[in-house]
Chains A and B, each alone.
Chain A
Amino acid sequence: SQQGEEDPQALSIQEGENATMNCSYKTSINNLQWYRQNSGRGLVHLILIRSNEREKHSGRLRVTLDTSKKSSSLLITASRAADTASYFCATNGDSNYQLIWGAGTKLIIKP
């Protein structure tokens, strides 16, 4: 089920600019994950941040987590045309496996 919310729903920026996407959730979590989906392709895991972490980096990606506000942000720095995709957040709570998904943000990078 999709109980998380992501904003914006769609984002279009120029290549080279930074892109920020936000995710809010409703329940307590064990971890929060970000995924990318290129059009017609499978979901690709980007980064997982645990509930006791506040920030995590992976290459040009920076994820923050604020459990007090039940929100997370994904920052892509120095965007490239290849970053054009939909980005989803998913939270993992008490269940070992069940993920609760956000609706996704469609990111378009203009060359």
Chain B
Amino acid sequence: GAVVSQHPSWVICKSGTSVKIECRSLDFQATTMFWYRQFPKQSLMLMATSNEGSKATYEQGVEKDKFLINHASLTLSTLTVTSAHPEDSSFYICSARRSLGNEQFFGPGTRLTVL
């Protein structure tokens, strides 16, 4: 149990387009989902915390209008990178937390390349 999926696993897009990444908890309800980005051989950087039914909480330095997060249900959160630019190229990872407990379950990540 406790499986988290992400879709797509990789995406290549042109500069200026928007890209949506989905994060799903497959066999549990996730009241909270977290979005991270990671550069090659670097650490995970928390971007935002997404609670079902409410607005996401963004970390300092993360542009809300650039990275739109929607957590419409207890099993789905989406991250939309709007007007993507080459510097947005990164590995985006989500994690989900159950209603009870502190453990986070990570998705496999989405590799975004912006040309």
Contacts and interface: CB of A to CB of B under 8 A. Distances in A.
Interface of A: 30-31, 33, 35, 37, 39-45, 48, 86, 90, 92, 96-97, 99
Interface in B14-42: 32, 34, 36, 38, 40-42
Nearest to A92: B41
A37 B102 contact: yes
Contacts of A96: 40-41, 91
Nearest to B97: A40
B46 interface: yes
A97 B38 CA distance: 7
Interface residues of B, number: 19
Contacts of A42: 34, 36, 46, 49, 95, 104
A45 B41 contact: no
Interface of B: 32, 34, 36, 38, 40-46, 49, 91, 95, 97, 102, 104, 109, 111
A65 B41 CA distance: 17
- Interface secondary structure of A, over-half rule: strand
Chain A CB within 10 A, most for which of B42, B43, B44, B97: B43
B46 A30 contact: no
A45 B45 contact: yes
A80 B110 CA distance: 37
A63 to B, nearest CB: 13
Chain B CB within 10 A, most for which of A37, A44, A92, A97: A97
B62 to A, nearest CB: 12
Contact of A41 (B36, B38, B49, B91): B49
B18 to A, nearest CB: 23
Contact of A44 (B40, B41, B46, B111): B46
A90 B42 CA distance: 11
A43 B102 contact: no
A97 B102 contact: no
Contacts of B32: 40
Nearest to A45: B43
B109 A48 contact: no
A86 B102 contact: yes
